[in-house]
Amino acid sequence: MEYSRLVEVYEQLNKTTKRLEKTHIISEFLKDVNADDMEQVMLLLEGRVFPGYDSREIGVASRLMLKSLNVATGISADRIEKEWKKQGDLGLVAELIVKTKKQSTLHSTKLTIKKIFENLRKLAELEGQGTVDRKTQLIAELLTSAKPVESKYIVKTILGEMRIGVGEGSMRDAITWAFFGHKIGVKYTKEGNDIEVEDRDIYNKYLDAVQHAYDVTNEFALVAKAAKSKGLQGLENIGMKVGIPIQVMLALKADTIEEAFETVGKPAAIEFKYDGFRIQGHKDEKGNIKLFTRRLEDVTNQFPDVVEFVKKNVRGKSFIIDSEAVGYSKKTGKYLPFQSISQRIKRKYDIDKMSSDFPVELNVFDIINHDGKSMLNEPFEKRRALLEKIINPEKKKIVLSKSKIVSEKKDVEKFFREAVNAGNEGLMFKSLNSPYKPGARVGYMIKFKHMMETLDLAIVGAEWGQGKRSKWLSSYVIACIDENGNFLEVGRASTGLKEKEEEGLSFVEMTRLLKPLTISEKGKEVKVKPKIVIEVGYDEIQKSPTYESGFALRFPRVLQIRDDKGPHEASTLDYVKKLYNSQKKT
Ligand code: AMP
């Protein structure tokens, strides 16, 4: 295919901002592309020559481009630079100066997509001595043959400045319309706000097939090629390839335990929700390991430590695992929040020092492919069982995510407490019989970060009530405990108790319990020996200068007496702090 055809499309796309029109332009164009050219055309259409997850780059800066323009046109570097200052865009400069030059000397042969693609990929591969000259030659060769408008897009593509303003959704639609439009009767009109189709259900079936193919390959170039050459079946059979990242499954959110259970069903698996960052680990049959972030960027070089753990501790000829890398303190071994290790992700130098200064533990929670077999349609329960079989856990290196199967609210509450105490964000609920759905935010995985966690607090003081409550101690000073055994106040609770004894925990009963514990009295205020522990609910934990703990509970409510707990088993200050921090993250 000639490059000029693609350039026409770029120009058309630039003339409109309407999503539907852009989609239509692309879909019409794709109908004309043959299967052999499809991959290259699609990549160039997106302004690239490498897939998004490929870390290779064309690697040409503006200076080198100036030089190439100079070599191609013979126009002095000074003049080109002046023009650049004026235009602010080297693509436009190229178009202008090639136009001037064209009229006189340059002679052109027709540029093909293949030629452009070849030269651009070579640019990325060159290294060593003489690289600058060879790169200049490769670019100049293209520019010499290019028409003015073509040179604009060549320059923009090389500099990574192509923006056609077409998102993933439009690309998916364009492929669907191009290759299946005739089957589903897609009708597009320039004036309309949407396309017309004969049957929405059938249309959605095709859309889903295209989306699925994209989710597993991550590359519209491959999707378009499969659709063109093998139709719907080609899309359905498109497989993931170990070494090429697949879109990760995303989580929904629940605010209550009941809501989470409702979505994932009972029993459900619950896991610690680690505050790190997602890593998709691949091992191919040759033993090569690759690591990708949630956004599918290749971070293999930044995490040699993780590469080692994955290589050593996961059995299998090839696999794709899903996991969370969590930073921990070298001193205490405790988990650290994500921010403490985030700098490792973009780091290009001193990698070994970074690994040693900011170590991470890999918590593996899912498996997507094993020994060449896709695990996407296996139920979660089976995927987890496989992980348990193939991972050889080593603390502070690679472990399985901490997990439990539960049906009861109280078990969730207990596990949540454990999770928060260990420095995690909360819990993940997982539906036991669900597949792995790449790229989708479906209810197979639910994050639960914010439980209105109750606290068990010691009563250290109280106040006599007013009016008809004057016979009762009706407001209670509540305290947590620090590591030295000091009781530190976090607020005053006066709601939650009954006025009539027969209705439940009452002011009368509380007064009866507290009065004998009195240490001192001043006005209505009474100090009592810490002995009674109560479970307290609240709306929020706030920082507070008023109380010696530094925290205050908003709207505390007495829930029950914890007569199974002594005062020294009250919730610790550290725990209050952790709950406060976990609250901030939601
Ligand atoms: P969020 O980023 O708040 O939408 O939460 C979802 C993220 O939690 C996932 O993308 C993972 O990076 C992370 N995560 C931490 N622990 C787990 C776990 N046990 N299972 C799944 N995802 C987890």
pLDDT digits (tens, 9 = 90+) for 280-335: 999 999 999 999 999 889 999 999 999 999 999 999 999 999 999 999 999 889 88
The Cα 162–Cα 46 span in angstroms is: 8
Q: Judge if the beta carbon of residue 384 lies within 6 A of ligand 1.
A: no
Which residue from 294, 297, 306, 397 is spatially nearest to 351, judged by alpha carbons?
306
**pLDDT value of position 105:** 54
**pLDDT value of position 158:** 96
- Residue of 249, 250, 264, 273 best suited for mutating to test ligand 1, as the one with most atoms within 8 Å of CB: 273
pLDDT in tens, the chain (586 residues): 999 999 999 999 999 999 999 999 999 999 999 999 999 999 999 999 998 888 788 989 999 999 999 999 999 999 999 999 998 899 999 999 998 876 555 556 789 999 999 999 999 999 888 999 999 999 999 999 999 999 999 999 999 999 888 888 999 999 999 999 998 888 898 888 888 888 899 999 999 999 999 988 989 999 999 999 999 999 988 988 899 999 999 999 887 898 899 999 999 999 999 999 999 999 999 999 999 999 889 999 999 999 999 999 999 999 999 999 999 999 889 888 888 888 899 888 999 999 999 999 999 999 999 999 999 999 999 999 999 999 999 999 999 999 999 999 989 989 998 998 888 888 999 999 999 999 878 889 999 986 667 899 999 999 999 998 999 999 999 999 999 999 999 999 998 888 888 777 899 999 999 999 999 999 999 999 999 999 998 878 999 999 999 999 988 889 889 988 899 999 999 999 988 987 765 4
Closest atom of ligand 1 to CA, residue 445: 21
What is the distance in A from the centroid of ligand 1 to the CA of 552?
30
Host H or E run for residue 151: helix 148-159
Q: Judge if the beta carbon of residue 273 lies within 6 A of ligand 1.
A: yes
Closest atom of ligand 1 to CA, residue 403: 19
Residue type, 283: K
Nearest CA to ligand 1 atom 18: 273
Fold of 48-159: DNA ligase i, domain 1 (1.10.3260)
- The correct CATH number of 455-583 out of 2.40.50.140, 2.20.28.120, 3.30.1310.10, 2.40.110.10 is 2.40.50.140
What is the distance in A from the centroid of ligand 1 to the CA of 298?
19
For residue 401, give both structure tokens. 């995510």
**pLDDT value of position 239:** 86
389 is known as an active-site residue = no
Contact 223, 214 (CB under 8 A): yes
CA atoms within 13 A on the CB side of 428: 23
Phi and psi, residue 583, nearest 5°: -60, -40
Q: Which of 228, 273, 449, 578 is catalytic?
A: 273
Go through the chain and tell me how many residues it has: 586
**pLDDT value of position 324:** 98
Closest atom of ligand 1 to CA, residue 272: 19
Nearest CA to ligand 1 atom 3: 447
pLDDT digits (tens, 9 = 90+) for 468-505: 899 999 999 999 999 999 999 999 999 888 888 877 78
Longest distance between any two alpha carbons in the chain, whole Å: 107
Q: Judge if the beta carbon of residue 415 lies within 6 A of ligand 1.
A: no
**pLDDT value of position 584:** 66
Q: Judge if the beta carbon of residue 401 lies within 6 A of ligand 1.
A: yes
- The correct CATH number of 252-449 out of 3.40.980.10, 3.40.640.10, 1.10.40.30, 3.30.470.30 is 3.30.470.30
Closest atom of ligand 1 to CA, residue 447: 5
What is the distance in A from the centroid of ligand 1 to the CA of 450?
14
**pLDDT value of position 500:** 84
Alpha-carbon distances, residue 161 vs 46, 74, 111 (angstroms): 11, 24, 20
What is the distance in A from the centroid of ligand 1 to the CA of 238?
27
What residue segments make up the domains of the chain, in order of their start? 48-159, 252-449, 455-583
Q: Judge if the beta carbon of residue 402 lies within 6 A of ligand 1.
A: no
Strand bridging mode 426-431 / 268-273: antiparallel
Phi and psi, residue 485, nearest 5°: 85, 10
The Cα 559–Cα 537 span in angstroms is: 7
CA angle 258, 578, 492 (to 5 degrees): 85
What pTM, to 2 d.p., does this model score? 0.70
**pLDDT value of position 242:** 94
**pLDDT value of position 75:** 92
**pLDDT value of position 103:** 54
Nearest CA to ligand 1 atom 17: 273
Q: Judge if the beta carbon of residue 97 lies within 6 A of ligand 1.
A: no
Q: Judge if the beta carbon of residue 425 lies within 6 A of ligand 1.
A: no
